[in-house]
Structures are given as C-alpha cells and as structure tokens.
Structure 1
Amino acid sequence: MTIEVRPATVFEDVRTLVGPKRPDASVCWCLSYRIPSKLNNELHGPERGEYVRTLLEQGPLGVLAYDGDEPVGWAAIAPRADTSFARNRKIPHVDDLPVWSLWCIRVRPGHRGQGISHALIEGAVDFAREHGAPAVEAYPLDNQGAKIDQTMAYAGIRKNFEAAGFTWAADTTSVLAGHPRVLMRRELT
C-alpha cells in the first residue's frame, strides 16, 4: 500500500472521513475547534456539511491520506489563531509564536494499524510548513499505553507525535476519554 497525503480540497472525500452516515445527523464534521462554539451549536444536520463545503471554497481544511484514489485518513490543521485553541483556557500558550494546531487525526475502519496516522501527521506538518508555519502544536492524549476508545482517539496519542519529532512543550488541564492531554510541539524553522 502506498499512502499519499494531499491537501483536503474535495468535499466528497472530506465527507467520507468526517461526515455522517445519515445526512440528518449532527456530527462533528471536524468543526468543533475550527469555528466559534455558538456557531458550532447552531449548525444542525445537513447545515454542517454545507458549512464545510463553503469553507472548502476558501481553501483546504487540512490533509487527506489516499490509498490510490480512496480517501482513508484525515488530519485537521490550521493556524492556532484561527481556531478555538486561540482562546482555550485548558490548553496553554507556550509563547507568542504564530503556531499551527493539529487537532484531529482520523483513519477509516479497515485501514487502521497500517501507519496511516503517521503519514497524516507528517503530511499535516508539511502542509503547515508550506504555508509558512514556524511550528506545529498538537494536543494528544498521554495514555501511557492504555487502550483508548477509537471515537475519542481523534486527538492522537503522545507516542505517535514523539515518533514524528514532536516534543513535550507543556502540560494542559484538558482531559479526553479519561486521559490527560499534553501540548506537543515541532519546530519548523
């Protein structure tokens, strides 16, 4: 299997990874950290997908991993200043560097355990670098080897980010699926 990571620009492919199985479902669409909380709570069912379609018209929302023409993985990445992490009280700011945030990694069932999340992390870092990011931050779970519910594993796990050259930058007060999240950073300059 050869995995290629490309900017997320094709709506149908984004929908395959983060859209609902039922069109009327009000699932994440990976909007919860990308848009203000009030707007996120106001968007229901198909409105969420249409909002993503509109955002894609402005540019990529992250990166997608492809096995041939099949989208098999997703990573959300954007300047931290453009996300709710800019105001998040539980995840600290390390300094004033205009970092990018990598907050969601998703690999489709049937494709897990094949290194796709590692390719997504590297592809997201490359995407941020190409857009002038001086560093990338992630906020993965520090699960210390414990099993994680796949639904809540979207933040990634610390060891995968360490393997990608990220280092611990700060502890957070954020907890997800019973595990603390840590702030990991990879300098790009």
Structure 2
Amino acid sequence: MIKETIEVKYIISKEDRTAALSPEDIWPVNSWEHEYWNKTQVFHQFKNNGQVSKSDCSGYDVVNREAERLLKERLELKVSTAEDQAKANELAKIVTKAFEGKEAYDIEWDYIEQGEFDDTKTPGWVTIKSKTSHSNWYQGNGFANRPSEYHYQVPVEVEKEALGLQGLRKKHQNDMTFDFYACDYPRRTVRVADHDNF
C-alpha cells in the first residue's frame, strides 16, 4: 500500500453530470456558456501498482486516472529529492555569500514620482521574480490605487545560481521531504506602488 495525499480538482456538468478535469475537456468551444460544479477529491491510499485503492476510489474514472497520474509524478519527484536538495543547498550558499558587504535594504519605489521601475534603476542588482499584490484592499479602499508590484532581487553576479535555486524550490513545492529552510537565501525587495504600505 502506498500512502500519499493527492488532491484532484475537477468539474461536473450541470447539464448531464459528466465529470472532467476542466470545462474545456467537455466543451472545447464556448465553455463559459455552460454551468458546472467545482469539486475536489482527496486520495490517501494507493495500491502498490499505483492504482487508486477501493477505499478512496471516485465514481468518476477521469478523477481516478488523474490521481494515479499525480501519484506517479510525485513518486518520480521524490527520487530526485536528495540530489536536488544537495544542489539547492550549495546554490543557496553561493547566493548568500554574494550578499556579503552589500547594502541589501528593501526599496520603496513610487512610480508616480520616480517613473516605472526596471533593473536599470538598480545597477548591480537583477530581478529574479516579480509578483503583483492581489489584496482585497484595492477593491474596497475607496481610492483608485494601482496594485503594488514586488520585485525580488539578488546581486547580478549570482543571477544564474539564484534562478537555478528558485527552479529547484518550485519543482519541490509540494514535496514534504524537501527542506526549504536548508536552502533559503537572501533577496531584497523593490516595492513599486503609488501609495504607502500601511
């Protein structure tokens, strides 16, 4: 028996109770015109051959097959965990060392006063990841503020190592055996906004 927690999200058509992994699987064209329920099933046990156990079995074959596919993916990922962990830890040391002696304070960038932000505004630093805030504050604050953007930077000389490390961490995102603390690394944040961060 293989014990792994696998979550499968799927839909059920309100028209004919057909189950699928996405609306486009049922209606390749104009899927937004159809109604469906969003569903989730969590699997905890699988047979040694990777098939869903009878105790967790869904009434929908497409859901069971997806759970088995996700299990196979997870087991293949776990095989590479030890090697990837060692590589991630080494990359984290390299990136951390590059921060020594650098002023790595976070930056508040007011794009109304300073213009749009890009890496040319911070020589010696490179953005390895960006995200935009999805806070509900922007919908209900009574002001027309643009959502804040966050740019995570490292010294330019370790861009390749930081991107490699970030890729390994993303690869093992749902791998409970991967030690994210052991390969944590510093980065500085540039917050681009038209308002203070209250």
What's the TM-score once normalised by structure 2's chain length? 0.20
Please say which structure displays the higher CA radius of gyration: 2
Relative to total residues, which structure has the larger helix share, 1 or 2?
2
What's the TM-score once normalised by structure 1's chain length? 0.20
